[in-house]
């Protein structure tokens, strides 16, 4: 015999001591037959409304599904993956006036078995279901605050062997990444340029290393390989780092086993994926992840096949040209979260409205801070060294020039002329070979310059770029005119003195992104160029005071923004010697290194320069 009861405003039945939650159809059938389960309540043939919502409450995400009638509400229980589809309100039984198949399918997909607090992973799966099925099941009131540190476990950076102090926003980002990866397969670190994304990733690797998780694969543009190794060695010496690049790279995956971190390039991943996938990476990181923005490219498809448990996409420009840029990046960190690319293109317009549709999923999976949002934490000036590794082609040509220099040196010639030639080659190969090819293809340093310019333009900001060589001005302006279209001016030794201030005034007043190319001797002193807050030293100067005076064109009274100063140089070349010597001389507070042209009674640095051979 079946016994009927009301528990928490839900009609339930008991048979042989077991509790059952009947469907609304089963209850309604009894009522139609004239056998209502209970006589003390009324049974309405009219249904009640259903509301489903997602909300953020302090540090939690809350899912709520309620039946509603005439202002009265009741949370519906979830039993064995099924929503109870009826309720008693004001002593009247009502069925839920809605098909629950999609809602129950969504709850099953997200593994939600009860109402209340849900995880970020469950939230993402709910949004994924809605997106891929093109339905809106929940009213979404969630607001993610990536600047809040109260996001799961609060990890103290002092607990990891990081030889640096994180800014507060970096601490927040580090916490966010670690907590996100506990529940999701991947995430996006989308901070603007200059905010120390590399440092946050290094801290993350140290955290997981302490949990005996690894190894880690870093995929980056060729221009950043050396910087990753340098930063890891400097701030995380417990990480054993190997740069997997060049013709002499490892070909047996077992030889990678001693390393905690393997840093490689996008092109090398394409060539070596079968070997790399013989290892099981705990974490794969794509630096400058906009490199996979084309969903149909071999690069994107290859990166998505990397054999890793967790993924992070690092990019200061997650959206560059088209809405599919975001699809590609999210598909790497969480495969299938936005469905297949064909359906995505059909459903999401390439405009603001399309971006709004993506916002709920993107906010759950990406932390992005802008410089203006964390400006109070930043110092007024941030110096960013950018050590670079030559391409194989560049390194071979440089080695030939070195051989010539050594011959001259052994014959009694001190070799300053060839040092100048080496410096020019490091600036750009086209300065000595008169080639007319694409300057982007022939220089890793120029590639890094273009990456920086791309981010500066994306932010709508300005940069001043210093180079000593007139021909480099032509390379810069010719390439930008043909490929970028950004407004630019130049001041060098050939610019009439009477025109220089007008050029600066025009640059400062210009509304929008712009670049001003300067020779440090012609425009390194006296000019006030506070319209720019990015300074790029494209080739290093022997004299540190010359460089400091040049940087002071933007970093001076009247500057209202944080100034980012970039110093680009090739490792294991004459530029490395200049870099080391400048740092050494600055430490002892001397003004000049070896004079503005490198002449000095001490030839040790010349000898060192002639013995440094770039890796390839």
Residues 209 and 189 in one domain: yes
Distance CA 197, CA 219 (A): 14
Asked if residue 149 belongs to a domain, the reply is: no
Give the pLDDT band of residue 532 (cuts 50, 70, 90). Answer: confident
Distance CA 514, CA 453 (A): 9
Domain stops at, among 377, 399, 429:
377
pLDDT tens-digit map of 448-484: 999 999 999 988 999 999 999 999 999 999 999 999 8
Distance CA 286, CA 499 (A): 45
Residues 55 and 196 in one domain: no
Q: Any idea which residue has 């302006």 for tokens?
A: 477
pLDDT tens-digit map of 557-616: 677 788 899 999 999 999 998 888 777 766 654 333 343 344 444 456 666 666 666 775
**Sequential DSSP letters for 573-603:** SHHHHHHHHHHHHHHTT-S-SS-TT---S--
pLDDT above 80 (res 59) = no
Question: What DSSP element (H or E) covers 299?
Answer: helix 298-303
Domain stops at, among 377, 407, 428:
377
For the chain, the residue count is: 616
Read off the CATH number of the domain in which 514 is found: 3.40.50.300
Which residue from 225, 222, 254 is spatially nearest to 241, judged by alpha carbons? 225
Distance CA 267, CA 271 (A): 7
- How much of the chain is helix, strand and coil, in % rounded to 5? 40, 20, 40
% of residues, the chain, pLDDT over 90: 56
Q: Any idea which residue has 């001490």 for tokens?
A: 602
178 by DSSP, 3-state: which?
helix
Give the pLDDT band of residue 62 (cuts 50, 70, 90). Answer: very high
Residues 385 and 371 in one domain: no
Q: What is the pLDDT of residue 528?
A: 80
Give the pLDDT band of residue 552 (cuts 50, 70, 90). Answer: confident
Asked if residue 148 belongs to a domain, the reply is: no
Residues 368 and 385 in one domain: no
What are the CA-CA distances from residue 228 to residues 205, 315, 480 (Å)? 13, 15, 28
Mean pLDDT for 154-167 is 90
Distance CA 462, CA 457 (A): 7
Integer-rounded Cα radius of gyration of the chain: 31
Question: Residue 293 has what DSSP assignment?
Answer: -
Total structural domains in the chain? 3
Residues 347 and 396 in one domain: no
Q: What is the pLDDT of residue 601?
A: 40
pLDDT tens-digit map of 206-253: 999 999 999 999 999 988 898 899 999 999 999 999 999 988 899 999
Q: How do 462-466 and 534-537 pair as beta strands?
A: parallel
Residues 465 and 356 in one domain: no
pLDDT tens-digit map of 268-288: 999 999 999 999 999 999 999
Distance CA 160, CA 209 (A): 9
pLDDT above 80 (res 321) = no
Residues 459 and 590 in one domain: yes
Query: What residue numbers bound the domain in which 340 lies?
Result: 157-377
Asked if residue 616 belongs to a domain, the reply is: no
Distance CA 607, CA 52 (A): 74
Give the pLDDT band of residue 108 (cuts 50, 70, 90). Answer: very high
Which residue from 316, 332, 258, 593 is spatially nearest to 461, judged by alpha carbons? 316
Residues 370 and 390 in one domain: no
pLDDT tens-digit map of 385-437: 999 999 999 999 999 888 887 777 766 655 556 688 899 999 999 998 876 78
**What's the pTM value of the predicted model, to 2 decimals?**
0.82
Q: What is the pLDDT of residue 238?
A: 95
Angle, CA 418 vertex, CA 415 and CA 419 arms, to 5°:
85
Task: Give the mean pLDDT of the chain.
Answer: 87
Domain stops at, among 377, 395, 419:
377
Higher local confidence (pLDDT), 311 or 182 = 311
Residues 351 and 385 in one domain: no
Distance CA 456, CA 272 (A): 33
* Other beta carbons within 10 Å of 346: 11
Give the pLDDT band of residue 149 (cuts 50, 70, 90). Answer: very low
Residues 430 and 350 in one domain: no
> 348: which 2 tokens?
């999401």
Distance CA 46, CA 28 (A): 11
pLDDT above 70 (res 260) = yes
Residues 133 and 199 in one domain: no
Asked if residue 615 belongs to a domain, the reply is: no
Q: Which residues pair with 462 in a beta bridge?
A: 514
Question: What DSSP element (H or E) covers 94?
Answer: strand 92-95
Read off the CATH number of the domain in which 190 is found: 3.40.50.10810
Asked if residue 151 belongs to a domain, the reply is: no
Residues 402 and 363 in one domain: no
Helices (H) and strands (E) counted in the chain, each on its own, are 21, 26
Q: What is the pLDDT of residue 591?
A: 38
Mean pLDDT for 72-86 is 91
């Amino acid at each position: 015999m079946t016994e009927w009861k009301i528990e928490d405003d839900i009609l339930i039945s008991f048979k042989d001591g077991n509790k059952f939650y009947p469907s609304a159809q089963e209850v309604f059938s009894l009522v139609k037959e004239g056998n209502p389960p209970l006589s003390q309540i009324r049974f309405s043939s009219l249904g009640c409304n259903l509301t489903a919502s997602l909300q953020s409450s302090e540090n939690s995400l809350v899912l709520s599904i309620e039946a509603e009638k005439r202002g009265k509400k009741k949370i519906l229980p979830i039993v064995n993956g099924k929503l109870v589809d009826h309720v008693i309100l004001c002593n009247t039984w009502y069925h839920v006036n809605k098909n629950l198949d999609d809602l129950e399918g969504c709850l099953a997909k997200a593994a939600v078995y009860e109402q209340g607090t849900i995880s970020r992973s469950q939230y993402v799966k709910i949004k994924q279901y809605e997106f891929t099925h093109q339905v809106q099941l929940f009213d979404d009131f969630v607001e993610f605050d990536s600047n809040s540190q109260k996001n799961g476990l609060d990890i103290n950076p002092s607990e990891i062997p990081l030889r640096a102090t994180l800014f507060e926003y970096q601490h927040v980002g580090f916490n966010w990444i670690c907590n996100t990866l506990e529940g999701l397969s991947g995430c996006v670190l989308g901070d603007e340029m200059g905010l120390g994304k590399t440092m946050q990733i290094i801290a993350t690797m140290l955290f997981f290393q302490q949990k005996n998780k690894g190894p880690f694969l870093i995929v980056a543009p060729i221009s950043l390989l050396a910087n990753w190794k340098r930063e890891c060695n400097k701030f995380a010496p417990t990480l054993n780092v190997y740069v997997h690049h060049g013709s002499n790279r490892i070909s047996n995956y077992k030889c990678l086993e001693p390393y905690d971190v393997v840093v490689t390039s996008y092109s090398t991943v394409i060539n070596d994926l079968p070997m790399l996938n013989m290892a099981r990476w705990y974490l794969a990181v794509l630096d400058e992840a906009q490199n996979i923005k084309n969903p149909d490219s071999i690069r994107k498809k290859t990166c998505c096949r990397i054999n890793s448990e967790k993924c992070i996409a690092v990019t200061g420009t997650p959206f560059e040209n088209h809405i599919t840029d975001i699809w590609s990046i999210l598909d790497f960190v969480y495969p299938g979260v936005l469905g297949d690319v064909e359906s995505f293109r059909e459903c999401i317009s390439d405009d603001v409205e399309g971006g709004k549709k993506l916002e709920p999923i993107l906010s759950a999976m990406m932390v992005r801070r802008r410089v203006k949002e964390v400006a109070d934490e930043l110092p007024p000036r941030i110096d960013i060294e950018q050590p670079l590794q030559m391409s194989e082609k560049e390194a071979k040509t440089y080695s030939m020039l070195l051989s010539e220099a050594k011959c001259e040196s052994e014959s009694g010639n001190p070799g300053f002329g060839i040092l100048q030639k080496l410096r020019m080659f490091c600036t750009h190969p086209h300065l000595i070979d008169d080639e007319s090819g694409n300057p982007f293809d022939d220089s890793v340093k120029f590639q890094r310059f273009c990456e920086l310019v791309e981010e500066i333009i994306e932010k709508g900001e300005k940069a001043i770029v210093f180079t000593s060589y007139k021909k480099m001005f032509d390379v810069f302006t010719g390439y930008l005119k043909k490929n970028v279209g950004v407004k630019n001016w130049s001041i060098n030794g050939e610019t009439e003195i009477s025109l220089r201030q007008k050029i600066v005034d025009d640059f400062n007043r210009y509304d929008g992104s712009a670049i001003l190319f300067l020779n440090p001797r012609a425009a390194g002193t006296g000019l006030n160029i506070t319209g720019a807050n990015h300074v790029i030293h494209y080739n290093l100067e022997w004299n540190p005071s010359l460089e400091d005076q040049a940087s002071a064109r933007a970093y001076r009274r009247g500057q209202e923004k944080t100034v980012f100063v970039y110093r680009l140089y090739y490792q294991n070349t004459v530029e490395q010697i200049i870099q080391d010597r400048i740092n050494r001389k600055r430490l002892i507070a001397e003004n000049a290194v070896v004079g503005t042209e490198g002449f000095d009674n001490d030839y040790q640095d010349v000898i060192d320069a002639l013995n440094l051979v770039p890796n390839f």
